[in-house]
A and B are shown apart, each in its own frame.
Chain A
Amino acid sequence: NAGVTQTPKFQVLKTGQSMTLQCAQDMNHEYMSWYRQDPGMGLRLIHYSVGAGITDQGEVPNGYNVSRSTTEDFPLRLLSAAPSQTSVYFCASSYFPSESSYNEQFFGPGTRLTVL
């Protein structure tokens, strides 16, 4: 299994440009989510999905869109990039939590985004 993969690893954008950060997992996880991590900060939840066709907003959703057309993929779209969106973006996935098992969340390696 490749686990959680993210592309690209690095990206530089100009203010106002749009782009899509890709995330894919091959573990058949129901749950997927996107976080951003800023220097000296913990991770902040942008959007999440509990299954194909279902998405919801996290703590910092403004400026980002998501969709979940398949179980495997959960792309994050920046509609009009702003310097405040310069950050490291992580995608994560997990099985549905249960009382008897660890709810291990798997994170991708991250995408480092710079908006000029």
Chain B
Amino acid sequence: GESVGLHLPTLSVQEGDNSIINCAYSNSASDYFIWYKQESGKGPQFIIDIRSNMDKRQGQRVTVLLNKTVKHLSLQIAATQPGDSAVYFCAESENSNSGYALNFGKGTSLLVTP
């Protein structure tokens, strides 16, 4: 199948700085994208999602940007906190209304230093 990948396997940021985690996808039919956060020993936690008819969506301290032209997705975390340290996964699906054929990337580890 087509792949979902991340540009950087690890990212280290200082507390208070903004973080940007990138994700590339190759399936041009992808129309639904999700970011998850996974802390050690826990299940993934939903952060934010975006559909292909949008290019930006904001949540609490997080923003997802979608560039369909270059098949690129990013997650921006404002004022990064130590509690943000985790592995972040992007996932994509071809049809957001068909349920679960989510294709996950390998993950980026975010480390927040004081």
Contacts and interface: CB of A to CB of B under 8 A. Distances in A.
Interface stretch (A11-19, A37-45, A65-73): A37-45
Interface magnitude class on chain A? 20 to 34
Interface string B73-114: 000000000000000010100001111111111110000000
B43 A58 contact: no
A42 B32 contact: no
A39 to B, nearest CB: 11
A113 to B, nearest CB: 15
A107 B45 contact: yes
Contacts of A109: 42-43
A92 B105 CA distance: 17
Name, among A31, A50, A107, the residue most crowded by chain B CB atoms within 10 Å (CB to CB).
A107
A94 B98 CA distance: 12
Interface in A11-66: 31, 33, 35, 40-45, 48, 50, 58-59
B100 A107 contact: no
Contact of A42 (B1, B48, B49, B104): B104
A43 B89 contact: yes
Contacts of B45: 107
Given A45-B101, A45-B102, A59-B1, A90 B96 contact: no
Given A33-B99, A97-B99, 17 more contacts: A4-B43, A35-B104, A40-B107, A41-B107, A42-B105, A45-B101, A45-B102, A45-B103, A48-B99, A50-B100, A96-B99, A102-B48, A102-B49, A105-B34, A105-B102, A110-B42, A110-B43
